[in-house]
Structure 1
Amino acid sequence: MSDNCDRVIDLIDLPEWGRVVPMVGVEPFCVVDEADRPVEPVRRFLRDLVAQGCSAATIRSYAFALLRWWRFLRAVEVEWSKACPAEARDFVLWLQRTSKRRRLPRTDSAMTAGTVNPITRKRFQDDSYMVATIRHSNAVVRSFYVFWIERGEGPLVNPVVLARGRGRRPHAHHNPSESFRPEGRLRYNPPAPKRRPRAMPDELWEQLFTAMRSDRDRAILALAVSTGARAGELLGMRGVDLDWGDQLIQVRRKGTRAPQWLPASPEAFVWLRLHVEEIGGVGADAPVWQTLRRRARDGGLPGRVPLNYEALRAVLRRANGLLGTNWTMHDLRHTCALRMIRDARLSLRDVQTILGHAHLTTTETYLVEDDLEVIRRVRDYLAGRDEPLTLPGDATTPYRAEDLTVLFGPAGR
């Protein structure tokens, strides 16, 4: 196993090779080369993920991660079947030191990239690869090689190796009658920062809600902040997913795609009713969220099309530009979760069910106190301490002679 320590990381330049394209068939997405031919090792791996029940969004995410890995191997001139831990290490170093390529240069966001918004206290994204992206890339590449090593192809050792603590050999005293347990974290995984969820303050929520220009956008935000549903889950709703009598909405959960009914606030259903009346009603199989396309692609009359995620992001981007903020739809999910956590009428198990968390430990991350909420309570405490103290009696009243006699004794002694 070679360990190329002479490779200059800063000189590695990934070629514009290949792309991820949607497919018609078993695999929803695939990686193709410069001649638009599918990269066969990647295609077979993605096909296996489809058989495991992974969603199209997961397949797309894995395809882009493997395309980046394939471009790196071409830049360092190493075949995918001959990659070793040195390539995985250098790949992580390259991700940590490089910036993403942009199709168009930044314009208005050039001044704020990488800075912290003074209103939301959130960091603006820049062009560097985030820690979560690097960790996800390592997980994808490792699972890719696990797939091929199980079939007796590819390298003998997985390039994305596991960390070895205290010099111990993995499974040194393993009982053959028991199954193997996970060996530990990946060696070249950067530590994940602990992000503390924050609730959107009520006054900032009102500003964001007021900045919406249509009943549709107001309804989406009101449902998100009252149900905690993710943006993709809300956008997938259809007419059959609305229960007007009990004020419930049905969403398909991320990953499992399992249907779940969620209670929504009466206010959210008011805006939802206004939106449905505006578009002339929603059929049982029709999408709830629709937008007006000003010019049809086929040259026909304008018509309504389902609202997609990019269009919803554009709505928030316009509102953020107006307010000077950088809110996302996921901030509304955090706000809903923290509001429910602070309500004594709801248990932690109730919150877990509404948020759709598979494990209670995920919900427990919302038990951490929000910094802004702590600051607000301490300010209320300090404001109460600033009240003037009332002294007993009048400080200008002279002492009585008999009191001084008791204290100091008779005069002349």
Structure 2
Amino acid sequence: MPKKQSTSSKMETIAKNDAPASHQSTSGRKEDREPRARTRSSSPVRSEKTESTTLLPGVKPVSEIVEQTQDPEKETLTLPEKGPTPQITVEDFNNKYVERSLNFYDLHSTRAIDYEQTYPRQWPEEIQHAFGMALDWARNYAEREHANLSVEQKRDLVSSLDGYCIQNDFDTIVSSLPRSLHNMCLTQFVYLLLVKECISRFFTNPFWYLVPDPECGGDADDKGKLPTNAPVFGAQIFNLYERMRESDPAAAQLWRLWTTRFSHPDHKFGYDMIAYRDSVADRICEEILGQVLVKSLLRSTDKSVLDRARIDLQKFFRSAAELSVKISCQLQYLEFRFLDTLDPVFHHPSAEIDLAEDYGGATKEPCFDGRRILFLEFPAMYLCGDSRDPLYRDVQQKAVVYVEDVVRNS
């Protein structure tokens, strides 16, 4: 009968489906399923088919939907920070910040110049020690009696100290001092003349000594005479550095620091650079000693005395030159302030001016409040730039000044 035949065919179909090699239903038991050879994610064929599958109109791919649903705040946290703004402590004497900034170099290799012990907080003491050599030179070799100078010599001396001394008549300046200081004025002026040369030659331009090939010498002419200011190449590098500072002060400081350090490797090139630097300092000494004004201020013309004067002056300039390079190896840098940028009148107390010790110490300072400053003993020194703020500026050493006497205008 048709009904029985239909039932029989259904039973046969069920039997075939229950066979081991037959297709397994998704609702069947796990242990009875045939294991898959590949997973969905590991099948290149399946992935290829999925990527090439035609999308329905108006339906976006799953990958785009996942990207759009990403948390925007979490995404913002993964963005790299802009600008060179690493944070360190100010008193990082080991220069960890600058070492991290170029950690792909061999930073711990030895250098031809030992700068590691020249810490910023010690710079005033180091500079005062070097300038003390200039004061000793003035005391030992320069004329002491200003009465022995001509009117032209006095005028030229005051004119050469512009920025360090008020531009007034020499005798008027001397007579404005306390009487006990009259005899030391000329020695102090010769000392200031050397200090001014030193600062303008070495401490104003951190690249004053740089040349492409120190073994072959620099920019001196056939007679060995240097240009008026820094050597040409060093002046060009300094101009480039100044342009960098205008656009990115923090990057410029690092560039100056590493240019100085990498110019002094523990290699022939580094030692040639030091030898050239010393030769420049020596030639500056010869140039200064050859000036008509300086010759006229020497106490003796004896050859043996002049030879000693030359050697001692070379020691001073070499010491100052080396110190200027060591300072350039650090992240921070120095700025000086002179009479043209200081208050022309002494005020007590002052954040950037101290009275010279020759006036009797701090207890006497109130007596000279409001008096006009005559000349410097030491310019004001500022410590500038650090890892947190490249425009940071703080008084490191107050200017030391000589002022007019109280009795004179009282």
- Aligning the two structures, in what range does the TM-score lie when normalised by the shorter sequence? under 0.3
Q: Pick the structure with more helix per residue.
A: 2
Tell me the TM-score normalised to structure 1 length: 0.20
Instruction: Please identify the structure whose Cα radius of gyration is greater.
Output: 2
Tell me the TM-score normalised to structure 2 length: 0.20
Higher relative contact order at CA 8 Å, sep ≥6: structure 1 or structure 2?
2
